[in-house]
Amino acid sequence: MTDLERLISGRFDELAATSMFPRDVAPDDFELEAALEWLGDLRSRVVLDLGCASGRFVKALSALGARVVGVDRSLQLLHTASKNAAGSPVVLSTATRLPFADSTYDGVLCIEVIEHIPELEAALSEIARVLKPGGRAIIIDKNPVGVGYHRFYPNWLYKVTMERLDRWFYPKAFPFREQWPAPWSLRRKLRSHFARVEIRYLAGRVRGLRGRLLGPLFKLVPALRPDVAWCCQK
């Protein structure tokens, strides 16, 4: 683990007990639905939850019959995950040096994690390495060119504003900032590791009145939806 990775892990440890890391995921959660749509029937499949945090997706996928292993670099979050998803193994590791053999997993999910990885190329290579031939991975994160992560603000503008106000995940003086890759930019990187890569834009975060008002825009221009999923097959 690099010095920067240790600092990032420490920040997660500081916030591990906050509401930022819920212990459950709703059955109609848009990220869970996107993952299940891409990964398919998970019964008896071996799945890696990379960046499992409190273990909410480990627990949800295990309940559907998958054999799930959770990985996180925060020791405090893993303590929570080991209790929250009892019966599923959790492993302390960075995404850039996974302690698993090649072709171990049928599926990998990585939800709102890549934004916190300084050495992204190394992490993508590791995801591909531990997947079995034909295996599937899904990466979900915020869409920097999207709208609606918060109210009606463009995502990038809201993030930059909150960072300048020192009201974001990392403090102003922290030596790292969340990285939200452009959908097409990350797709280019993924194509060097996977035989198939699809981009799917997700609007499930935007509900109620905001959903009704932004819905026509999202239908006309899907690339403006606030979240994006990169769906990969080895």
CA distances from 129 to 28, 60, 105, 189 (A): 31, 25, 9, 15
CB 128 within 8 A of CB 196: no
Structure tokens at 192: 């060097």
Nearest to 96 by CA among 73, 114, 78, 119: 119
Residue 105's identity, in one-letter code, is: Y
Query: How many domains does the structure of the chain reveal?
Result: 1
Q: Which amino acid is at 208?
A: G
Q: How does pLDDT run across 147-203, given as a tens digit for each residue? A: 999 999 999 999 999 999 999 999 999 999 999 999 999 999 999 999 999 999 999
Domain span at residue 182 reads 3-233
Residue 1 confidence class, pLDDT cut points 50, 70, 90:
confident
Task: Work out the number of other CB atoms within 10 angstroms of the CB of residue 121.
Answer: 12
- Whole-model pTM: value is 0.97
- Please choose, from the candidates 65, 74, 56, the residue with its C-alpha nearest in 3D space to the C-alpha of residue 106: 65
Both tokens of residue 174? 């922290």
What CATH number should be reported for the domain holding residue 198?
3.40.50.150
